[in-house]
Structure 1
Amino acid sequence: MRRGLKLISIGLADEYDLSLRAVEEARSCDRLYVELYTTKLSTSKERLEAILGRSLREAYRRDLEGERPRILEEASQSLIGLLIGGDCLTATTHISLLLEARRRGLPTWVIHGSSILTAIAETGLSLYKFGKVVTLPLPERGPPDTVLEALEGNLSLGLHTLILLDLDAERGRWLSIGEGIRLLLNADRPDIFNDETPLIGVARLGWRNPLIRGGRASELLNIDFGEPPQALIVPGRLHFVEEEGLRLLANLPGEALKGWRPRSETELLVERYMKSCRRVIEKLESSPLREEAQRILDYASRYLSDAEYYANEGRWPTALAAVSYCEGLLDALRLLGLAEFEW
């Protein structure tokens, strides 16, 4: 008896994105389902049926999620195919379904397809330099906190951030680029995201009418990007080839990148340590100290000067080492009772 589950990728746009292998695998199944609620496609169940020569049943959330997905009950008795927009393993829902099928000892097959995770290279940015991918939820589904945390982490490493914009296909509700920018601005974290943050807005990548537009957050806020699916990209540190790519492919004006240089975690640490060390040294220099304490303070001042020099040269690891020596000497003064101060 044939049984098992085939996850079959449709691709980014419509039935013409189906690979030949996807078509053959779909036609070999005893029963076919199509899932249309995790993304928006430029096609319909009827058009997919026409190209496959098979009837399709629409799979809903209740069929694929929960403790006992109905589709797996059927897959234990026959060979079931599930057509999925984009690549079939981009959404967590389908990975969970694959894992549960394996736990039940069911045979599984995965037929990959085009995905937003590779299509974003059309912006001119290198795929190798993207960090954690996040979804900005609809307001009724939650705050943007996890998006800002991921963005902060990626920027500290100089990495680009892909922010997928949430949609609820079953209710016809989706988050536009303008709405997404407004949600991030209203989160009031200007140190991470503000009006001047350079962005690339993308809509309907892989469709016949894609739109890619770059600019500052304040400039993209009121642009109509049309129908979903849509996403935002915040660039990290840019190679000169990427900068040219953004100008030519994403229409990102050069002035939008002026002064944009995401700082690494090391840079942020060095700047914070230098600021606190400078404050303590200036306080102690105006206080009477014993001779041995003054000598230690002089050494600390020299290490701080070294740190500032290396920071200006962009040699951040060396700057971190120097300012750490400075902080250590100042801590020694305090622990030995030779000086009083608070960090």
Structure 2
Amino acid sequence: MFYVVGLGLCDEKDITVRGLEAVKSSSRVYLEAYTSILMVKKERLEAFYGKDLIVADRDMVETQSDDILKDADKENVSLLVVGDPFGATTHIDMVLRARALNIPTKVIHNASIMNAVGACGLQLYNFGQAVSLVFFTETWKPDSFYDRIKENAALGLHTLVLLDIKVKEQSEENLARGRKIYEPPRYMSIPQAVSQLIEIEELRGDGVLSPDSTLAIGLSRVGGMEEQRIVSGTLAELHIHPEEAFGEPLHSLIIVGKRLHHLEVDYAQDFAVNRDSWRSVAKDVYNCNLDE
């Protein structure tokens, strides 16, 4: 059996009982280590699970999948994924590869950022399509996310913006020269994300992300961690808010949609940079009835 096991968002204890049973029954256990990161070191996982873990980086997952799946039709093999197994298309591809080899598969789900964002008080059924925001470079500033946010905004829906992480990445020069030299890990912060959103708004000019009239919520380390931080405000307020106030990575950002319920406003105002500003924009721009 090939197991794809979700680990949740916090530490070694977030694994489900079913997931832990799968891990303990496996002859090989891989830890996928590039689509997201867990907040504890590999050694803590190994001690709790009672198993040695093989770190599966991008190269291994994308080019050596046959090695991961080897003999999984005769013995149990587990691939551990931070969050939920289907939070990234990479893992869907692994399951399809296993099926093509007639290897039995089982997916064991867990909490992910897609549902943990409910910690900010916004109702999950009011979210539209999620988007990813990558690190801009001088020559590469993809803006397709803007159209997805615009589509959500037209329906009044919130948008979850997943912020880029760079783990075990090579510089263009090292990649071109075939040198296995990797850059230090980088994690996009909420202020950097907001800066990029505002930059694209200035280029596109449709008013979808107007800094002074667009409400947003920044989150870090959600999922029950003691270091969890939530900060709400306009994009302009989040842009100039002290970076340390957002906490340690990983960060995520929510663009608040116009279909905003007064209970969402009330809940998220406890995290606001400026409570009065939060409520006034919700009332005057979002037409939210705060007297209910």
* One-letter amino acid of the counterpart of residue 161, structure 1: T
Q: Indicate conservation of the 8 Å contact 1:124/1:250, yes or no.
A: no
Q: Which residue of 2 aligns with 1:294?
A: none
Q: Which residue of 2 aligns with 1:243?
A: 265
Instruction: State the secondary structure of the residue aligned to 2:217.
Output: strand
Q: Indicate conservation of the 8 Å contact 1:205/1:211, yes or no.
A: yes
Q: C-alpha displacement at 1:218, in angstroms?
A: 1.3
Which of 228, 249, 260 is equivalent to 2:249? 228
Which of 45, 50, 53 is equivalent to 1:53? 50
Q: Indicate conservation of the 8 Å contact 1:15/1:48, yes or no.
A: yes
1:154 is the counterpart of 2:152: yes
- TM-score (normalizing by structure 2): 0.83
Q: Which residue of 1 aligns with 2:237?
A: 219
Q: Which residue of 2 aligns with 1:137?
A: 134
* One-letter amino acid of the counterpart of residue 199, structure 1: A
1:261 is the counterpart of 2:281: no
1:113 is the counterpart of 2:110: yes
* Alpha-carbon distance between aligned partners in 2 of 1:115 and 1:164, rounded to the nearest angstrom: 12
Q: Which residue of 1 aligns with 2:172?
A: none
- TM-score (normalizing by structure 1): 0.71
Instruction: State the secondary structure of the residue aligned to 1:139.
Output: coil
Q: Which residue of 2 aligns with 1:275?
A: none
Q: Which residue of 2 aligns with 1:272?
A: none
| Greater helix content | 1
Q: C-alpha displacement at 1:145, in angstroms?
A: 1.3
Aligned pairs (5 A) from 1:1-343: 4-66=1-63, 69-76=66-73, 78-140=75-137, 142-170=140-168, 171-187=184-200, 188=202, 189-190=204-205, 191-196=207-212, 197-206=214-223, 207-222=225-240, 223-224=242-243, 225-236=246-257, 237-248=259-270, 253-261=278-286
Q: 1:250 to 1:124 in 2, by over 3 A?
A: farther
Q: C-alpha displacement at 1:43, in angstroms?
A: 0.8
* One-letter amino acid of the counterpart of residue 192, structure 1: V
Q: Indicate conservation of the 8 Å contact 1:40/1:228, yes or no.
A: no
Q: Indicate conservation of the 8 Å contact 1:138/1:174, yes or no.
A: no
* One-letter amino acid of the counterpart of residue 244, structure 1: D
* Alpha-carbon distance between aligned partners in 2 of 1:9 and 1:143, rounded to the nearest angstrom: 32
Instruction: State the secondary structure of the residue aligned to 1:242.
Output: helix
* Number of positions where the alignment pairs a residue of Structure 1 with one of Structure 2: 259
* Alpha-carbon distance between aligned partners in 2 of 1:228 and 1:240, rounded to the nearest angstrom: 30
* Superposed CA offset, 1:18-37 (max 9, x none): 11211111001111111121
Q: C-alpha displacement at 1:143, in angstroms?
A: 2.6
* Alpha-carbon distance between aligned partners in 1 of 2:140 and 2:226, rounded to the nearest angstrom: 32
Q: C-alpha displacement at 1:17, in angstroms?
A: 0.8
Q: Indicate conservation of the 8 Å contact 1:40/1:169, yes or no.
A: no
**Structure whose CA Rg is larger:** 1
Q: Indicate conservation of the 8 Å contact 1:123/1:250, yes or no.
A: no
Instruction: State the secondary structure of the residue aligned to 1:155.
Output: helix
Q: C-alpha displacement at 1:75, in angstroms?
A: 3.0
Instruction: State the secondary structure of the residue aligned to 2:230.
Output: strand
Q: 1:216 to 1:144 in 2, by over 3 A?
A: farther
Q: CA RMSD for the aligned pairs?
A: 2.0
Q: Which residue of 1 aligns with 2:290?
A: none
Larger RCO (CA under 8 A, 6+ residues apart) = 2
* Superposed CA offset, 1:285-313 (max 9, x none): xxxxxxxxxxxxxxxxxxxxxxxxxxxxx
Instruction: State the secondary structure of the residue aligned to 2:85.
Output: coil
* Alpha-carbon distance between aligned partners in 1 of 2:280 and 2:286, rounded to the nearest angstrom: 13
* One-letter amino acid of the counterpart of residue 218, structure 1: A
Q: Which residue of 2 aligns with 1:280?
A: none
Instruction: State the secondary structure of the residue aligned to 1:32.
Output: strand
Q: C-alpha displacement at 1:174, in angstroms?
A: 1.5
Q: 1:25 to 1:121 in 2, by over 3 A?
A: same
* Superposed CA offset, 1:226-252 (max 9, x none): 321111101112012212122135665
Q: C-alpha displacement at 1:215, in angstroms?
A: 0.6
Q: Indicate conservation of the 8 Å contact 1:39/1:85, yes or no.
A: yes
